[in-house]
Amino acid sequence: MTQRYLVTGGAGYVGSVVAAHLLERGDRVTVLDDLSTGFAEAVPDGAEFIEGRVQDAAKWLDGSYDGVLHFAAFSQVGESVAKPEKYWDNNVGGSMALLAALRAAGVRKLVFSSTAATYGEPETVPITESAATAPTSPYGASKLAVDHMIGGECAAHGLAAVSLRYFNVAGAYGSLGERHEPESHLIPLVLQVAQGRREAISVYGEDYPTPDGTCVRDYIHVADLAEAHLLALDAMSRDAVPAGEHLVCNLGNGSGFSVREVVETVRRVTGHPVPEITAARRPGDPAVLVASADAARERLGWTPSRPDLAAVVADAWAFARLRQEENA
């Protein structure tokens, strides 16, 4: 049966790929995005587009929607430290307004784009959902606050919700990929070096207690991430996540790749040299961040089908070259 969904932030990286997956399976999709960090051309063909703020979702959300997928948030850790008020206002204030709109419209299903930044520096790895949450930035704290808000909404008002805590999302889905300004994620930064847009990649610290001395992170393909969102909606539709429950699931591959492994994989996939600059450790960078995705597997039936780092890099590289050709 065709379902109708509102995708907030659907002109951004992850939101656009999820919207595309919903359309491909035959759902009706409305994207709500103010284009402050998203791109109108990233809204997939076939989706209705509303240019607007999530704070004003009540203007458009009504009982004809079967659920909401919420991606509308600022996500730059460094900026959140410099401008915490921007993150509290948008990420928390916008989510509070969205929850009120859901309640008023009688829409009872929500998938929330949460983050591994809610955990801060983990005491043990792999990180499970029961790990202590101690975010080290206003960005992570704002996302954790929204998780708490959603939990209260579920308990008090019968919302069914799934918060998906991403680790490092990467790769691309055809013409939909990563293009943050400024860019802060490792794989697109290394690809910029391969393209000649950046002279070298900085490797922050090479004396960590890891096999090659550089930080280890868990990378997940954006298409695998999108599939988890669809499975979350399906779980709520069949009452595997019933009204009143707030399910929190980590999304990751369960294994990690070091900074040097990423750089070497980019060299191999692109055939380009990637000069390195060794720099001092960055404060607060844990040596290893790897997810346990057991809950997503058990409750949602999700297993990443694209765990190979070379495949992730190859898709990101194809998107980067496409963007370079378009801008030539």
Q: Which two tokens stand for residue 158?
A: 């019968």
Query: Do residues 250 and 128 touch, judged by C-beta distance below 8 A?
Result: yes
Count Cα atoms within 13 angstroms, Cβ side, for 163. 22
CA separation for the pair 294, 288 (Å, rounded): 18
Beta bridge partners of 173: 176
Closest CA to 217 of 91, 141, 312: 312
Question: Is 139 designated active site?
Answer: yes
What H or E segment, with its residue span, contains residue 100? helix 94-105
| Side chain identity at residue 88, one-letter code | W
CA separation for the pair 138, 71 (Å, rounded): 17
Q: Which of 13, 65, 87, 139 is catalytic?
A: 139
CA separation for the pair 284, 88 (Å, rounded): 21
- The label of the residue with tokens 């780092």 reads 309
CA separation for the pair 74, 58 (Å, rounded): 20
Query: Do residues 219 and 304 touch, judged by C-beta distance below 8 A?
Result: no
Listed in sequence order, the residues at least 6 apart from 24 whose beta carbon sits closer than 8 Å to its beta carbon are none
Residues annotated as catalytic are 139
